[in-house]
Structure 1
Amino acid sequence: MVASVASEAGSNEGGVKRSHIRAGTRVLFSFGAGALAFGIVALLMPWQVATLIGWSASAAVFISSVWVSVGRMDGGATAEFAMREDDSRAAADLILITASAASLLGVALTLLKASGESGSSRVFISAIGTLSVILSWGAVHTVFMLRYARLYFAGGGGIDFNDDETPNYMDFAYIAFTIGMTYQVSDTAVTVKDIRTTALRHALLSYVFGTGVVAMLINVVAGLLNR
């Protein structure tokens, strides 16, 4: 399998080089887009709404840029991309996950603002809050998708995909989003401690995040029904 991965990685090196963006650069670009969106919206709307729109723009740019880069990679390109040296990854991951969690507080403040509004204004603010939560959820699990790929290829395996082919990013997305939605792995056995520990942290974060998401969506629906 190692030889196969190396061979596939070599054949895909050119495509990986073209698609590789350092994690820190990707995050800075995403937050730059969010800051621009915030600056424009803040001229027209309350700061709570502008903040959520800014964060939503950041999360959308991050998710889109990741999936444009890795979404169509095969196993060899995935291995090459995942194993590239990038000392900005840990900080970038921490910033994104922290910002995603903090955005829930922003949603709560925005919903508080929406409670004082009526009609289309309340619907719009509530919709922005809901969109922000969805994008935050997607950003967190996209970060973990990338992390599982790094751990897998750096350690020479550790997840049994029940398949002889080298896994690509869609396989790691399957792991990440399954844990994100169910707080457990399904038919893919985890066989090494590093990945198992990461999966545990991911499941705990997903549970806290999911609880907050459900609570806020109930709040949004209740608010709209009572308007």
Structure 2
Amino acid sequence: MTGVPAPTLYHRWLGWHAPAMRRALTAFIAGLVVTVVLLPFVTWGLALGAGWDVAALTILLTIWPIIIRADSSLAPLLAAREDETDGAARVLVVGASVASLLGAGYALHLAGRDNGALRGLLIGVAVLTVVLSWTVINTVYTLRYADQNFRSEPGGIAFGTGDDQQHPSYRDFAYVAFTIGMCYQVSDTTLRNPRVRNTVLAHALLSYAFGVVIVAGSVNLISGLFR
């Protein structure tokens, strides 16, 4: 693929040429190692939270360089690449992100029972878990929208109107995903087919549950810890 980085060891394992499931499993292995290392020294809830945070950071650090580099000329080439593991990896990562919130809630519960230095650490891990999980979910949907636009449903998302329509980059799909993640709606883009609208609906509902129920509840719990 012209303009795409050469298939070096890094790019074959984690970068442009890596299957999505390989990136996901590498991230989860990194998180598992951190969890096992921390278990003798901290509570299992804190160890699991820290492990997920490392896994989430690994996912973001391997995907975002691709998103940033995939301009309008490279985006169709990247999205057109066949990857049979993409769907399973997406379900795995989103599921783990949602499940990690249970760990964040448990960490806050433990923090409410602790008066020492551990309280601040538990709160910090819980907040970081929520932020990273939210970012991971919207990043996964960034890739999903690009896939639908270029491969599954060509032209499913229109950027601009009439003669002003633009050729989108992956950053444009990040704009769509994070706008939905924050506002639960699209802004100045047009959705052209039902499958893309169904994806947006699922994303908006997940973001609403995440933002209103979980994040707002976490903020209230944290506020209560300092009363």
User: TM-score, normalising length from structure 1?
Assistant: 0.90
User: What is residue 142 of structure 2 aligned with on the other side?
Assistant: 145
Moved more, 62-71 or 137-146: 62-71
Partner of 1:55: 52
What amino acid does structure 2 have at the position aligned with 1:15?
A: P
More displaced 10-residue stretch of structure 1: 18-27 or 134-143? 18-27
Q: Which has the higher helix share?
A: 1
Deviation at 1:133, TM superposition (A): 0.5
Q: Who is 1:156 aligned against?
A: 154
Question: How many residue pairs are counted as aligned between the two chains?
Answer: 215
Q: Distance in 2 between matches of 1:202 and 1:40?
A: 35
1:123 to 120, 127, 135: 120
Q: Which amino acid aligns with 1:180?
A: G
Structure 1 residue aligned with 2:198? 197
Is the 1:16–1:81 Cα contact (8 Å) retained in structure 2? Answer: no
Q: Which runs of 4+ in 1 moved over 4 A?
A: none
AA in 1 matched with 2:104 = V
> Residue deviations 1:174-209, cap 9 Å, x none?
000000000000011111111111000000011111
Answering whether residue 209 of structure 2 is matched by residue 218 of structure 1, we say no
Q: Deviations over 1:47-102 (max 9, x none)?
A: 00000000111111001110022312211211111111111111111111111111
Q: What residue in structure 1 maps to residue 210 of structure 2?
A: 209
Cα distance in 1 between the residues matched to 2:79 and 2:220 = 38
**Percent identity between the two aligned chains:** 37
Partner in structure 2 of residue 15 of structure 1? 5
Give the match for residue 105 of structure 1.
Answer: 102
Say yes or no: does 1:168 pair with 2:169: yes
Structure 2 gap ranges (5+): none
Match of 2:26 in 1: 29
Q: 1-side partners of 2:78 and 2:130: how far apart?
A: 29
SS of equivalent residue, structure 1 residue 75: coil
Between the aligned partners of 2:118 and 2:135, the Cα distance in structure 1 is 26
User: What is the CA–CA distance in structure 2 between the aligned matches of 1:217 and 1:149, rounded to whole Å?
Assistant: 33
Partner of residue 3, structure 1: none
Q: Please report how far the alpha carbon of residue 16 of structure 1 lies from its aligned counterpart in structure 2 after TM superposition.
A: 7.2
**Residue 62 (structure 2) pairs with residue 65 (structure 1):** yes
Query: Which of 1 and 2 has higher RCO (CA within 8 Å, sep 6+)?
Result: 1
- In the superposition, the TM-score normalised over structure 2's length comes to 0.90
